[in-house]
Structure 1
Amino acid sequence: MQCLTSLTADSFLLKLHVQPRAKTNGLTGFHGDALKLRLNTPPVDGKANKAVEAYLGNLFGVPKSSVNLKSGHQSRSKQVKIEGLGVKEAEEILRKALDS
């Protein structure tokens, strides 16, 4: 998947396109080379960024502390570093999430 970049054996970078104030939370496919994530949280006072970290931690089964926003703090385009999981495992999780 183009949205994933391996950093180490157990960490990777994920490119996201975030749509805040959506009706529901969830992955909806791709936006260019980024994974599209809809959140019902408004982009106010960093709430949407915290929601991104919480959603991804839950999705990948890692603690929220292992999910760190690296760029895009005030943008819809974000890069998130996730530790505790390799790219292969992440691809499988994303495929299952997108298929459902």
Structure 2
Amino acid sequence: MRLAVRVTPRGGRDAVEGWTRDEAGRAVLKVRVAAAPADGSANAAVLALLAKALKRPKSSLSLVSGETARLKLVEAEGVDQAALEAAFGPAP
């Protein structure tokens, strides 16, 4: 399953803040990480945070697009809609 994520690097803490809608009306998960967006450390922190919330190994998540952007697309193997809702609540 692919998951759209809006990341705030240097956010002071690692946390999932819930769902929102982007300008096009698509559901996006808001995430903040304490890591700076240098050398991929913020991306690694996002994947680790999502893996922990989804109770999946980090290796089951990968960044599909948005390596240097705030809006990222994450591929989560072995995750279905029910698992997403259990971890993050229903999308708007």
Aligned to 2:56: 62
Partner of 1:22: 11
After TM superposition, give the deviation of residue 90 of structure 1 in Å. 1.3
Q: Show the counterpart of 1:77.
A: 71
Contact kept? 1:68, 1:82, Cα under 8 Å = yes
Is the CA contact 1:17–1:31 (under 8 Å) kept in the aligned structure 2? no
- Residue ranges of structure 1 left out of the alignment (5+ in a row): 1-11
C-alpha spacing 1:31/1:20, structure 2 compared with 1 (3 Å): farther
Measured in 2, the distance between the counterparts of 1:54 and 1:27 equals 12
Partner of 2:45: 51
Pairs aligned (count): 85
One-letter amino acid matched to 1:13: R
Q: Which runs of 5+ in 2 are unaligned?
A: none
Shift of 1:77: 0.4
User: If the length of structure 2 is used for normalisation, what is the TM-score?
Assistant: 0.85
Distance 1:84 1:95 in 2: 18
Percent of aligned pairs with the same amino acid = 35
TM-score computed with the length of structure 1 as normaliser: 0.79
Deviation at 1:31, TM superposition (A): 4.8
Query: Which amino acid is the alignment partner of residue 9 of structure 2?
Result: P
Match of 1:8 in 2: none
C-alpha root-mean-square deviation of aligned residues, in Å?
1.4
